[in-house]
Amino acid sequence: MKRTAKILAIDGEDIVLKSISKALRSDGDTEYSVTTANTALEGLKLVRSNMFDLILLDLALPGMNGIEALRRIKSSYPLVSVVVMSGYSYERTFLNEAANNADGLLSKPFTTEEIKCLVSHILWGSERCT
């Protein structure tokens, strides 16, 4: 039986969104449907009108930052899984809030195997990534 999941990737960089879409191409017994958004506001609109199994959310977004978007998503949709992505060092309180409210953290740049492993772990309970 094929496993399926709807994923929303929110990042201000098109290259990152393309990398995520490419990394999460369907393979074998898993089929991912990846929707992308370049801003938090665009992503929040998509969340309101679609059911996603997982959201990949960058912290550094144009306009509203990822922490505020995370707060809004989790307050309205507490059961959706959210992975916070970051390529920057943030102050400890900022990262602590992200870690306490997100289901996972992904440091940029990431490899295809890292994102596939983390997504598989969160969605299907697969083994922890090393």
Judge whether 129 lies within some domain.
Answer: no
**What CATH number should be reported for the domain holding residue 90?**
3.40.50.2300
Judge whether 39 lies within some domain.
Answer: yes
**pLDDT (tens digit per residue) in 65-101:** 898 999 999 999 999 999 999 876 555 556 666 667 7
Domain count, the chain: 1
Judge whether 130 lies within some domain.
Answer: no
Give the per-residue pLDDT at 99.
66
Q: How far is CA 51 from CA 6, 27, 76, in A?
A: 8, 22, 12
Distance of alpha carbon 9 from alpha carbon 22, whole angstroms: 12
Collapsing DSSP to helix, strand or coil, 118 comes out as helix
**pLDDT (tens digit per residue) in 96-122:** 666 677 888 888 899 999 999 999 999
**Cα of 22 vs its chain's centroid, Å:** 14
Q: Which domain holds residue 24?
A: 3-124
Q: How far is CA 38 from CA 26, 35, 57, 64, 106, in A?
A: 22, 11, 10, 11, 18
